[in-house]
Structure 1
C-alpha cells in the first residue's frame, strides 16, 4: 500500500517513542485503562500521532468502558482505512491512518451502544494526539 506519508522504519523509530512505535508501526496494543485519552472529555480534534492527520473529533467520542478511547465515527470516512484482521484467533477490522498507514486500533459493530452508527472505533491513546479546540 502506498501512503501520502512514507518513511523508513529507521525514520519512524527516530520520530516515535518505543511505545508509540510498537502500537503505530507494529500494530501493538496499549494496556487497557492506561491511555491518556481513555477518560478525556476535552473538546477538540484527535490527530494521528505519527503524521498529524485529523482522525476523530471529540463530539463522536463516547464512554464504552472498554479501556480505550471509543468513537462512533471518524472525522472523515477517508481519514481511516479498514482492513481485515485475523490475528489472535479472531476476526476483527483493523483501523489504520489513511495518510501514513499507522495502526490505530479496531472497529466493532453491533455491540448495542446507543450511538448513531452502531460502531465502536476502539483506538489506542498512544496513536492519537488531542488538539483542544473551543466550539
Structure 2
C-alpha cells in the first residue's frame, strides 16, 4: 500500500518496523488497506467520551462528540479533528469509486468517507477499529 505521498509524511517507517509495532490485524488494515468485517471491530459500538487516534503514529483523528451510529458496523464520524489530519485518495478498487482516507501524518489506511452522513458536514467517515486507538477523556 505504499504511496508516493509516504516519502513526504512526517512519520516514515520500514515495513519491518510497522510489522513490529502493530498487531497482525492492525498491520493488515493500516498498512495493507484491508477492511475488518462489519460489526466485529472494537469501536463500532463504543460511546465513551474521548479521542480516537491513529494506531500508526498516535495523532488524534476523531473526537467522540462527532461519532454517530450509521448502522454500517464500523465506527462512523461526521468530521475529523481538523482538515489537516486526513488525506483523501480516490480508490477505484472492487469495481467502484470511493474516497479512501489515510492518516496524513503516517499514511495508515483508516477507511473511507462517504457523502451520506449527518449535518453539519453531510459526510460519514467509515473507519476500521483496527486503524484507531481510543484515549478516554480526562
Normalising by the smaller structure, the TM-score range is: over 0.9
**For structure 1, which runs of at least 5 residues remain unmatched after alignment?**
none
- Aligned residue pair count: 132
Q: TM-score, normalised by structure 2?
A: 0.93
Q: What residue in structure 1 maps to residue 9 of structure 2?
A: 3
Q: CA RMSD in A?
A: 0.8
What is the CA-CA distance between 1:115 and the residue it aligns to?
A: 2.5
Q: Which residue of 1 aligns with 2:31?
A: 25
Pick one of 69, 77, 85 that aligns with 2:75: 69
Tell me the secondary structure at the aligned position of residue 84 of structure 2: helix
> How big is each residue's C-alpha offset from its partner over 1:9-55, in whole Å with a ceiling of 9 and x where there is no partner?
01000111110000000000001000110011100010001110110
Aligned pair partner of 1:47 in 42, 53, 58: 53
Give the aligned partner of residue 100 of structure 2.
94
Could you give the per-residue CA deviations for residues 86-132 of structure 1, whole angstroms, max 9, x where no partner exists? 000000000000000000000000x2x43311100000001000100
Q: Distance in 2 between matches of 1:106 and 1:81?
A: 10
| Matching of residue 104 in structure 1 with residue 110 in structure 2 | yes
